[in-house]
A and B are shown apart, each in its own frame.
Chain A
Amino acid sequence: GESVGLHLPTLSVQEGDNSIINCAYSNSASDYFIWYKQESGKGPQFIIDIRSNMDKRQGQRVTVLLNKTVKHLSLQIAATQPGDSAVYFCAENILGNQFYFGTGTSLTVIP
C-alpha cells in the first residue's frame, strides 16, 4: 500500500509565529496532493491543494511546497492563530485513483 507519513506527530507554536507541517510520500507517481485541517470531533476541511506540475502554491495565510525530488510536502501557516489549532494531514492521489491519507500532525497554538 501507499505510505503517506508525517515527520512530527505534534507541534506547538506561539501565536503569531509561522508553522511548518511536513509530509513524506512514497510513490513518485503521485500527482495530486491535498492538505486538510480537522478539528476535534469534526470532519476534515480542505485547506489547499497542489498538483505535481507545481512546486509551490499559496492561499490565504497558507503555502504548500512540493519537493518531488525527495517526495516531500509541507504546509506553512503564516502568523498562526489560536483558531489554527487542529490536526493537519496530507493526502496523495495517483493518476485519479483513490486518495491515501497521512496520520496527521496535531498543531497547538499557544496564546
Chain B
Amino acid sequence: DGGITQSPKYLFRKEGQNVTLSCEQNLNHDAMYWYRQDPGQGLRLIYYSQIVNDFQKGDIAEGYSVSREKKESFPLTVTSAQKNPTAFYLCASSIGIDEQFFGPGTRLTVL
C-alpha cells in the first residue's frame, strides 16, 4: 500500500535531549513537510523540502532541524533549543503544490 508513515506514535523526551521523528513516504512525492499542531491552533509549518538535498524553513523553524538525503525520507530533529516541544507533529507529502497527504502523526511529550 502506498502511503506516508511516521514513527514513533508516542515519544517522550527529557529536557535537554534531542529527539528525531521519522517520516517515510512511498508515494514518489517530491515535496515533504513538517507541521506542528497545538490545541486550538491551526497547523504551523516547521520545515519543508521540495527536492532531495534541499529544504527551507517554515514559520516556526527555531529549535528544529531536518535533512532530506533520500526522496522517501524527511526526518525531523527536535533539539534542546526548542523550549516548548510538547505537541502533535505531522508530516505530509505532495506532488507539487496540490493536495498534501498527511501521516498519522507523532505525539511528543517533554517530561
Contacts and interface: CB of A to CB of B under 8 A. Distances in A.
Contact of B100 (A97, A99, A102): A99
A91 B59 CA distance: 16
Interface string A37-77: 00001111110010000000000000000000000000000
A99 B44 CA distance: 9
Interface in B34-63: 35, 40-45, 48, 58-59
B99 A49 contact: yes
Contacts of A100: 42
B85 interface: no
B75 interface: no
Contact of A104 (B42, B97, B104): B42
Nearest to B88: A41
Interface residues of B, number: 23
Nearest to A4: B42
Contacts of A43: 6, 90, 102-105
B42 A103 contact: yes
A89 B42 contact: yes
A96 interface: yes
A42 to B, nearest CB: 6
A6 B11 CA distance: 31
Task: Give chain A's interface residue range (CB within 8 Å of chain B).
Answer: 20 to 34
Interface string B57-82: 01100000000000000000000000
Contacts of A4: 42
B105 A98 contact: no
B102 A98 contact: no
Interface in A4-53: 4, 32, 34, 36, 41-46, 49
Interface of B: 6, 35, 40-45, 48, 58-59, 90, 96-105, 107
In the A-B complex, list the 6 residue pairs whose CB atoms are closest, starting with the nearest.
A43-B102, A101-B42, A96-B97, A101-B43, A44-B102, A43-B104
